């Protein structure tokens, strides 16, 4: 008789949180930009952050990436209370978080290949970036990342020769090389048309999934929410206005969230039944 099959016990550890925000207020002078905010973002989650301009989205991203610190409360990024980190450990945390902006992601006087390999270093130390090119292995690394974002032929181009969409692809290739544990993208597609925006968001999600990274994207193009993000956090006046699935955001809520900016979103063009 056959020995009973040994099945390993199912190990299910709950996913740790990538980010925890506890009672965070951030003020600039007398302006409370974030107000007693509480949030946690599970490791590996794909989250969109939305809200009208001035709501505090960029401030939130800067707190999470430890380039800014709370006035009150605690920000725990990848297991570290950001305010307690200094020097080498602070730099190590920042290296673990890939950041991408609306534009100006690339160093203009460096070729694409150098820009991509910057991700390997995690900081902007030029001599080493140039030196790294003497290793064919590094070159292959850059080439593979560019292949992944479908612009391998731009390896030796200067950033100024590229379109906005291509520049964002280079920035994503750099993220691939950096292999961060979290990616924070602050309006990465605001300068692109809808089609290119969709492609860039798709790439970001693919890159995040591939590396198992948590992804937060600050987004203005709301028709990119559905099918791409599992969770939407809407901020208004420094507070959480909505936190849930994209499917549960209706036109009524969006109108309340965006106020005067609502008309510019053209919600009726992509949300069935929404009044213009």
Ligand X SMILES: Nc1ncnc2c1ncn2[C@@H]1O[C@H](COP(=O)(O)OP(=O)(O)O)[C@@H](O)[C@H]1O
Residues forming a β-bridge with 25: 72
- Binding of ligand X by 54 (CB under 6 A): yes
User: How many of the chain's residues bind Mg ion (CB under 5 A)?
Assistant: 2
Q: Which stretch binds Mg ion (CB under 5 A): 54-62, 67-75, 103-111, 122-130?
A: 54-62
Least distance from ligand X to the Cβ atom of residue 225, Å: 16
Q: Which residue in 7, 53, 109, 160 binds ligand X (CB under 6 A)? A: 53
Sheet holding 214-218, edge to edge: 97-100, 182-186, 214-218, 46-50, 231-236, 239-244
Q: Which residue in 17, 20, 47, 56 binds ligand X (CB under 6 A)? A: 56
Pick what 7 binds: Mg ion, ligand X, none; C-beta below 5 to 8 Å, kind-dependent: none
CA distances from 127 to 110, 133, 139 (A): 12, 10, 16
How many angstroms separate the CA atoms of 49 and 58, rounded? 10
Pick what 115 binds: ligand X, Mg ion, none; C-beta below 5 to 8 Å, kind-dependent: none
Residues forming a β-bridge with 48: 217, 232
- Binding of ligand X by 57 (CB under 6 A): yes
Q: Which of 145, 136, 193 is nearest to 169 (CA)?
A: 145
On whether the CB atoms of residues 46 and 215 are closer than 8 A, the answer is yes
- Binding of Mg ion by 58 (CB under 5 A): yes
Q: Which of 239, 118, 237, 124 is nearest to 180 (CA)?
A: 118
Q: Which residue in the block uniquely carries the two structure tokens 């280079």?
A: 170
- Binding of ligand X by 58 (CB under 6 A): yes
Least distance from ligand X to the Cβ atom of residue 231, Å: 18
Q: Which stretch binds ligand X (CB under 6 A): 38-46, 54-62, 125-133, 175-183?
A: 54-62
Least distance from ligand X to the Cβ atom of residue 43, Å: 24
Each residue 20-39 as x (binds ligand X by CB under 6 A) or -, in order, gives --------x--x-x------
- Binding of ligand X by 59 (CB under 6 A): yes
Pick what 28 binds: Mg ion, ligand X, none; C-beta below 5 to 8 Å, kind-dependent: ligand X
- Phi/psi at 155 (nearest 5 deg)? -45, -45
Least distance from Mg ion to the Cβ atom of residue 256, Å: 20
At a CB cut-off of 8 Å and minimum separation 6, what does 51 contact? 57, 234, 235, 236, 241, 257, 258
Pick what 59 binds: Mg ion, ligand X, none; C-beta below 5 to 8 Å, kind-dependent: ligand X
On whether the CB atoms of residues 146 and 204 are closer than 8 A, the answer is no
What is the number of other CB atoms lying within 10 angstroms of the CB of residue 156? Answer: 10
Q: Is 156 helix (H, G, I), strand (E, B) or coil?
A: coil
Least distance from ligand X to the Cβ atom of residue 65, Å: 13
Q: Which stretch binds ligand X (CB under 6 A): 57-65, 101-109, 155-163, 221-229?
A: 57-65
Which residues sit at the interface with ligand X, rule CB under 6 A? 28, 31, 33, 51, 53-59
């Amino acid at each position: 008789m056959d020995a009973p099959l040994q099945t390993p016990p199912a190990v299910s550890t709950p996913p740790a949180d990538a980010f925890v925000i506890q009672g965070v207020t951030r003020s600039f002078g007398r302006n409370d930009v974030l107000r007693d905010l509480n949030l946690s973002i599970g490791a590996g989650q794909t989250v969109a952050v939305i809200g009208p301009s001035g709501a505090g989205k960029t401030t939130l991203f800067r707190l999470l990436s430890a380039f800014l610190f709370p006035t009150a409360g605690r920000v725990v990024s990848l297991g570290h209370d950001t305010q307690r980190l200094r020097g080498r450990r602070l730099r190590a945390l920042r290296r673990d978080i890939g950041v991408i902006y609306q534009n100006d992601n690339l160093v203009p006087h460096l070729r694409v290949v150098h820009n991509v390999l910057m991700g390997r270093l995690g900081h902007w130390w030029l001599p080493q970036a140039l030196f790294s090119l003497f290793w064919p292995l590094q070159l292959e690394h850059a080439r593979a990342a560019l292949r992944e974002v479908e612009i391998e032929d731009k390896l030796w181009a200067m950033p100024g020769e590229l379109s906005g969409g291509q520049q964002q692809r280079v920035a994503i290739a750099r993220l691939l090389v950096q292999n961060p544990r979290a990616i924070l993208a602050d309006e990465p597609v605001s300068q692109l048309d809808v089609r290119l925006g969709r492609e860039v968001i798709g790439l970001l999600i693919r890159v995040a999934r591939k590396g198992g990274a948590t992804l937060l994207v600050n987004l203005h193009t709301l028709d990119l929410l559905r099918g791409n993000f599992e969770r939407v956090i809407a901020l208004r006046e420094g507070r959480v206005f909505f936190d849930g699935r994209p499917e549960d955001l209706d036109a009524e809520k969006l109108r309340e969230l965006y106020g005067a900016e609502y008309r510019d979103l053209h919600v009726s063009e992509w949300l069935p039944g929404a009044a213009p």
